[in-house]
Amino acid sequence: MNSRERVLAHLAGKPVDRLPLMPITMMFACQQIGARYRDYCTDYRVLVEAQIRVAETFGFDYVNTMSDPAREAADCGAPVEFFDHQPVALVEDRALLADKSTLARLKIPDPLGGGRMHNGIQAISLFKERVGSEKLVEGWIEGPIAEGADLRGINTLMTDFFDDPAFVKDLFAFVIELELRFAREQIRAGADLIGMGDAAASLVGPHFYEEFVWPYEKQLVDGIHAMGGRVRLHICGNTRRILKGMGSLGCAVVDLDSLAPLHEARQQAAPGQILLGNMNPVTVLRNGTPDLVTAAAAQCHREAGPRFIVGAGCEVPRDTPPENLRALCEYAHQHAP
């Protein structure tokens, strides 16, 4: 059973030889090949090289195209700032939709139009060519509130929920169309799984999540399913109050950050939901010891039960000691679900 077969079997509820291993690495992966992170974000060949290197070195079961949250927004025309050694970031004080009326004129960019989205799709094609039969290939899109925040400015969007709820719904409807087009091209290029990051969802409470966010996340997940795709949902931050909603979207994988207890997610999610995570990536994985990491992985596994994939709560930090990451990986390599 190779890595790709293992993950796909686990997702399908079939027997597997050991726990699948799918930690998020971006800057850590880039560091493995000594490249600049700017190049990792802007040149798919660098990203692919780094992802394959880290996956092979540590025995990950997958590779992914995630690099920063700004691919779609940049192609829409949002001002972004590039750094040599950090992720591309949105420039909020010049947000594309600072003036709400701009939304009515905003066109959805062509994902194959030579921009940053296209670069991500090219990464998937190259992954498929180089390791597609061996490793699971994961693409990436932003969720409704994350992308809405990228386009509108996160601080402004937070007050829009009170000031102009109709605009928020129009904005999210635009985002769904944008992300479905992006996801479709990623699936066509060969993505086995679409990662969906909806970080800002953890900033709003259950009331706004249920009224504004969940219905659009559901549209996105259903749309990807209709294309024959599968979804891994990741929401950074404290999602404790929205676990039930996250666990009822029908995602193949719900990937939890460290602030949300896995045992609570297990109680609240739909039966059989695969959970991924969620040790603290800084205090345990980066600052801890291999023994601490092993103990934390075992604790996560106990709380999640057999429908579990090994990973950290969020991205593996760039300067994580390799022996700590190796301890996380060995837990997966040595344990059955």
Q: Which two tokens stand for residue 113?
A: 């139009």
Neighbours of 64 (CB within 10 A): 28
Q: Least separation, in Å, of the C-beta of 13 and another protein? A: 34
Q: Least separation, in Å, of the C-beta of 313 and another protein? A: 11
Under a CB-based contact definition with an 8 Å cutoff, are residues 181 and 123 in contact? no
Q: Least separation, in Å, of the C-beta of 176 and another protein? A: 21
Residue keyed to tokens 């129009």: 170
H helices then E strands: how many in the chain? 16, 9
83 contacts: CB under 8 Å, gap ≥ 6: 37, 38, 89
64 secondary structure, DSSP code: E
Which residues form the interface with another protein (CB under 8 A)? 27, 81, 83, 85-87, 89-93, 154-155, 158-159, 161-162, 203-205, 208, 240-241, 282-283, 286-287, 317-319
With respect to another protein, which residue has the nearer C-beta, 268 or 287? 287
User: Bridge partners of 90?
Assistant: 80
81 secondary structure, DSSP code: E
Q: Return d(Cα 20, Cα 3) in angstroms, integer.
A: 8
Crossing angle for the helix pair 116-131 and 44-58, to the nearest 10 degrees: 40
295 contacts: CB under 8 Å, gap ≥ 6: none
With respect to another protein, which residue has the nearer C-beta, 229 or 313? 313
Q: Return d(Cα 74, Cα 72) in angstroms, integer.
A: 5
With respect to another protein, which residue has the nearer C-beta, 81 or 323? 81
With respect to another protein, which residue has the nearer C-beta, 215 or 317? 317
With respect to another protein, which residue has the nearer C-beta, 33 or 89? 89
Residue keyed to tokens 């609240």: 268
With respect to another protein, which residue has the nearer C-beta, 90 or 136? 90
Q: Least separation, in Å, of the C-beta of 241 and another protein? A: 6
Residue keyed to tokens 């404290």: 238
Under a CB-based contact definition with an 8 Å cutoff, are residues 154 and 92 in contact? yes
Q: Least separation, in Å, of the C-beta of 64 and another protein? A: 19
Q: Return d(Cα 1, Cα 142) in angstroms, integer.
A: 31
With respect to another protein, which residue has the nearer C-beta, 223 or 311? 311
Instruction: Measure CA 76 to chain center.
Output: 20
Q: Least separation, in Å, of the C-beta of 66 and another protein? A: 15
Q: Return d(Cα 292, Cα 206) in angstroms, integer.
A: 33
With respect to another protein, which residue has the nearer C-beta, 176 or 201? 201
319 contacts: CB under 8 Å, gap ≥ 6: 31, 286
With respect to another protein, which residue has the nearer C-beta, 130 or 240? 240
